[in-house]
């Protein structure tokens, strides 16, 4: 029995599908408005939902560079765009990560880095 070559939707392909428009917007936006790309993002300019997700960065937000602020904001927006079941999965994994020893975290980061390079 031959397998269909129809496009399968996997979590990875769904992530890529959502990520592509964000990347295009970022590239086009940065290319068209370089002056805006280099500006700090005031904490008060974040939505209440973004502030809630980024609350651990509140005390140091003004000391972060514009690129780091933008990166964190994009991550918060991606998190907020997830369905609730995916958010819960992220929270479980984050909680597990926070319980790891520094050596376990280091091993996990190395493993992730190797996987990322092999893609």
**Position 77 confidence tier, pLDDT thresholds 50, 70, 90:** very high
Alpha carbon distance, N-terminus to C-terminus of the chain:
30
Please give the pLDDT value at position 74.
Answer: 96
The residues spanned by each domain of the chain are: 16-81, 87-119
**Position 11 confidence tier, pLDDT thresholds 50, 70, 90:** low
Cα separations in angstroms, 94 against 51, 90, 101: 18, 6, 13
The sign of the torsion formed by the CA atoms of 100, 101, 106, 110 equals: negative
Cα 43 from chain centroid (whole Å): 18
Question: 28-45 pLDDT, tens per residue?
Answer: 555 544 444 568 999 999
pLDDT at 61 over 60: yes
Across the chain, mean pLDDT equals 81
pLDDT at 113 over 70: yes
Please give the pLDDT value at position 114.
Answer: 83
Please give the pLDDT value at position 28.
Answer: 57
pLDDT at 57 over 80: yes
Q: What pTM does this model have?
A: 0.58
């Amino acid at each position: 029995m031959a397998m269909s070559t129809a496009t399968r939707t996997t979590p990875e392909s769904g992530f890529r599908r959502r990520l592509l428009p964000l990347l295009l917007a970022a590239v086009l936006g940065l290319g068209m408005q370089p002056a805006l790309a280099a500006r700090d993002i005031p904490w008060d300019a974040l939505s209440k939902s973004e502030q809630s997700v980024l609350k651990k960065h509140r005390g140091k937000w003004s000391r972060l560079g514009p690129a780091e602020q933008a990166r964190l904001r994009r991550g918060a927006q991606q998190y907020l765009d997830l369905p609730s079941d995916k958010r819960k999965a992220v929270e479980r994994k984050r909680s597990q990560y926070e319980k790891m020893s520094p050596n376990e975290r280091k091993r996990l980061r190395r493993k992730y880095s190797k996987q990322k390079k092999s893609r």
